Structure 1
Amino acid sequence: MSGIGDAFGRKFYQIKTHVGAGQKTMDSDVQYAKNKLSESYKKFKNILDVIKKLAPTVHATNLMQVEVLTSLGDCVVNTSPETKSDIDSIISTFQKIDEGVNTYETRIESDIIVPLKTYMEQFKVMEKRFEICHNRRVDMDRYHDSVLSISKKPPGKQ
C-alpha cells in the first residue's frame, strides 16, 4: 500500500515543483547523459532500420532487372540466337547475384542486426535506470521539504 502512497506523493510533488511551489534539484550531468543516451538510441535505431532495408532492396532490384531482361529476351527471340544467348547469360548472372544476396542477407542478420539489437536493449535498461534515478531525486526533494517543514516547527510541536 505504501507503494501507491509513494507514487501519489511523488506525482503530487512533481506537480508542485512544476508550478514552482516545491524545490527541484537539478543534476545537469544526469540530464546530459540522458539526452546523449536518447540521441545515441535514435541513431542506432536509424542505422538498424537502414540495414534491414538493404538486402530486400538489392533483392527487389535484381528481380526487377531479371523481369526486364526476360521481357527483352521475349521481344528479340526472333531476331538472332546470339542476342537471346547474351540476354540469357546476363539473366543467369543476375540470378547468381541474387543467390549472393541471400547469403549477404543471412550474414547481415547474424553479424550485424542481432548484435545491434542486443546492444540496443542496453539502452532500454539504461532508460529504466534513469527513470529510477529521477524518482529517487523527486523523493529526495520531497523528503527534504518534509524535514525542513518539521524542523521549522517549535520543538514541542514536532
Structure 2
Amino acid sequence: MTEMLDQKEMKVIVFQLIDKEYAIGVDVVQSIEKLLTITRVPKTPPYVKGVLNLRGVVTPIVDLRERFGLEAKEMDDSTRIIIVTLPEFEVGLIVDAANDVIDIPVGSIEPQPGVVGTVESEFISGVAKIDKRLLVMLNLEKVLEPVKRGTSDEF
C-alpha cells in the first residue's frame, strides 16, 4: 500500500499528536490543509467532527486525538487536516502538527509492539526507529474502520 523506493525505503508524512510522532505513507495523502470550517453532522460518533467542502468534494473529518482517546486540545495555528484517500473514500484527519516528509528504511520498521491496555495499540501497524526518533506507523484501515462501515449512526 505504501510507496517503496527501490524496495528499501518508504516515503511517509510525519505528524504529531501530543508528544508522539506518527507516520502514514505519502501514497494515501491527498493534501495537508490548515484548519478550515467544519460543518457538524448529527448522529455521528464524537470523533467525527463533521464534513468540509474541499475543492468541491465533501470530506468527513476525524479528530485523531479523540479517536485514540487522548486528551482534547484547543486547535491552533499548527493544527492541520491531513486529507487521505483510500480505495473506498476520502477522509480528513485532524492532527496537532504535520512535521515533515521523510524516507524510512523499510528495515527500520518493527512489528507492532505487544502493548497491552493502550487504546491506540489496535491502530498501529508498526514502529520505525530513525536516529533518535520513534515513529508510530498507523494502520489507516483500522483507524477508519467504524467510519467506513456506514451504519445510520456512523460515517
**Shorter-chain TM band:** under 0.3
Structure possessing the higher relative contact order (Cα contacts under 8 Å, 6 or more residues apart) = 1
Higher strand share: 2
Which structure shows the higher helix fraction? 1
What is the TM-score normalised by the length of structure 1?
0.22
> TM-score, normalised to structure 2's length?
0.22
